[in-house]
Amino acid sequence: MAVLFLIAMVVVLLGIEIVRRQKVPLAQTVGTTAHSRLHLVGHVRSLPIESLPQGLFFDRGHTWFHLEPSGEIRLGADLLPATLLGHVEDLQLRAPGAEVKAGEPIVGLVKGARRITLYSPVEGRVSEVNAAVAADPASLRRDPFGAGWIYRIAPRKVKPALIEAFVGDEAASWMRRELERLRDFLALADDRGSLASATLPDGGLPVEGIEKHLDEESWERLCREFFYRWPTKGGKR
Cα distances (angstroms) measured from residue 127 to each of 65, 75, 124, 211: 14, 11, 9, 32
CA separation for the pair 194, 115 (Å, rounded)? 22
E-assigned strand segments in 47-199: 57-58, 63-67, 73-77, 90-93, 99-100, 105-111, 114-119, 123-129, 151-157
Q: For residue 109, how many other CB atoms are within 10 A of its CB?
A: 23
pLDDT given at position 236: 57
Q: Look at residue 184 in the predicted model and tell me its pLDDT.
A: 85
Residue 37: its pLDDT value, please?
29
Give the pLDDT of the chain (237 residues) as one tens digit per residue. Answer: 443 333 343 333 334 333 333 332 322 322 323 333 223 233 334 455 556 788 999 999 999 999 999 999 999 999 899 989 988 999 999 999 999 999 999 999 999 999 999 999 999 999 999 999 999 998 998 899 999 999 999 999 899 999 999 999 999 999 989 988 888 888 787 655 445 444 454 445 555 678 888 889 999 999 999 998 765 554 555
Residue 8: per-residue pLDDT: 40
